Amino acid sequence: MTVAGIDYTLIDTPEGLENFYHQCEGIQWMGFDTEFIGEKRYQTLLCLIQISTRDGYFLLDPITVTDLTPFLKLLQDPDIVKITHAGDNDYRLLYRAYGMIPANVFDTQVAAAFCGHRYPTSFAKLVEAEVGEKVGKGYAVTDWSKRPMSEKQIKYALTDVLYLRELYDTITGKLKANGRLEWALEECALMTEEDYYYRDPNHELLNSNIARSSRTQERVFLLRLFEWRRAQAEKRNYSKEMILSSKIIGQLVRGVRGGKQSMQENRRLPGKTVSRYGDLFVEMYQEPPTPEELKIVKSIQRSSQDDEEDDMIVELLYLLMKYRANEADISHALVMPRNAIRRMKQDETVRKSILGSGWRRELLGEDFVEWLKNFDNLQLRIEGGKISLTH
């Protein structure tokens, strides 16, 4: 088949996928991308897999071919380099759906951050910068579950794998020249570890500003509310926002302590929501906490008067990280997001995962690592026009 001058093979039968798998025997690389629908759903629907190899371009239809085992085997083959752009989204989707953990991956978005590109950067911008081609992205939002697909959909889908091998070659060449290839491969290899895909089931609560400023009983209610919303979304295969909008959760936490009538009188709470779930929310609020719930909510650090000084130290460390990253021509956003330093202060596990023995530690230096290890005892001093951190 041909669309817009691009020859491709459509894989829409189990036999076609099995033939493709055997055709890939001995290949050294494979580029791929996915199209999916996540809006208004709890379980993301995988709609299309685009693939490029030495033998050409392929479109695998997971709606008609429900058993993807042969394709997943290729992703797990350590002898095949898998080339993606922002592939963590694709791998997370496949991990949630099939428990699949890839091997031998190279992500162009991650790798490009080690040779002067911003992180994250779009596929279109990277292709234009490295290959010199302009990629139209006007068909990003479309119904990928619709069959048959239009020629515009197919052209758009194929474009996402058309330049992956060329990007791999140009970026790898630059990384070899600047001595950063090992660092880039180390970062990409994180996607081959199961820990990369773990997400704390209580992540919504632990990252909630509402929880940090609430009392214990409100925190327990919030914990239960998040779990109830997730369970309802999973049961009905709706998005969590369709079950309960995040915009009203703060109002619920403040209103539930006054009972159902208080919630009914709150003009910022939808009347239908209160009528339908008000009694349940009050029951969730009033039920005594379990030891397990108390352990979870007590792990949340309450705001304190020390936060202002901590904020200055965090900001100073963040600026120092940016300086050292810019010196090395590596995107600072890949090195460490702004909130990572505070998270490392609060959680030793996070600190170890970010500053183990890898490239970040080498880039930032042992002094930076020591400051993070002793964050609670750090003191900021300004003397004689010089800024110093001591512990």
Q: How does pLDDT run across 20-40, given as a tens digit for each residue?
A: 999 999 999 999 999 999 989
pLDDT band at 380 (very low <50, low <70, confident <90, very high): confident
**CA dihedral sign, ordered 265, 266, 272, 273:** negative
Reduced to 3 states (helix: H, G, I; strand: E, B; else coil), residue 82 is strand
Question: What region, left, alpha or beta, does residue 50 occupy, with left being phi > 0 and alpha being psi -120 to 50 degrees?
Answer: beta
Segment 183-188 shows an average pLDDT of 97
Long-range contact list for 243-252, CB < 8 A, 24+ apart?
A: 244/273, 248/273, 249/210, 249/222, 249/225, 250/210, 252/225, 252/281
- Provide the CATH topology of domain 2-197: Nucleotidyltransferase; domain 5 (3.30.420)
Domain boundaries, the chain: 2-197, 203-297, 307-390
Proportion of the chain above pLDDT 70, given as a percent = 95
Q: Does residue 364 contact residue 321 with C-beta atoms inside 8 Å?
A: yes
CATH of domain 203-297: 1.10.150
Spatial neighbors of 97 by CB under 8 A, at least 6 apart, are 44, 46
Strands of 56-60's sheet in order across = 2-3, 6-11, 56-60, 45-53, 29-37, 81-84, 105-107
**CA dihedral sign, ordered 11, 44, 97, 111:** positive
Nearest in space to 84 (alpha carbons), one of 44, 129, 120, 43: 120
CA atoms of 40 and 28, how far apart (whole Å): 38
- Report pLDDT digits (tens) over 223-269: 999 999 999 999 999 999 999 999 999 999 999 999 999 999 999 99
- Report pLDDT digits (tens) over 61-98: 999 999 999 999 999 999 999 999 999 999 999 999 99
* SS3 per-residue string spanning 26-61: CCCEEEEEEEEECCCCCCCEEEEEEEEECCEEEEEC
Q: What are phi and psi of 207, to 5 degrees?
A: -105, 15
| CA-based end-to-end distance of the chain | 67
358-383 in b/e form (b: 16+ CB < 10 A) is: bbbeebbeeebeebbbebeebeeeee
Reduced to 3 states (helix: H, G, I; strand: E, B; else coil), residue 308 is helix
Which of 119-133, 194-208, 371-385 is the most confident on average? 119-133
What pLDDT is recorded for position 139?
Answer: 56
